[in-house]
Amino acid sequence: MTITSESTEPRRRLVLTVEEAADLLGVGRTTMYGLIQNGAVESVRIGRLRRVPADALTAFVTGLRNAEVA
């Protein structure tokens, strides 16, 4: 019998639902859609679904931090 070792590290999802992204930022769903609509947060369409790339949230928060420093 062969035992394969799987990573115990949870897999990081590449894209999030708008609701999940809003929850991570601590804002409401409507606010999140507003951030997407005005271009502050990047989003993608997969078929009929709107998704937010996980790295887009990181970029958004980094931009906010850099704006505070400047």
**Phi, psi of 6, deg, nearest 5:** -100, 150
Report pLDDT for 5: 58
For residue 13, the number of C-alpha atoms closer than 13 Å in the C-beta half-sphere is: 9
Cβ-based burial of 21 (10 A; exposed 0-12, middle 13-18, buried ≥19): buried
pTM over 0.85: no
Q: pLDDT 10s digit of each residue in the chain, 70 long?
A: 666 656 677 788 999 999 999 999 999 999 999 999 999 999 999 999 999 999 999 999 999 999 887 6
Instruction: Give the three-state DSSP class for 50.
Output: strand
Return the structure tokens found at 19. Answer: 């609701």
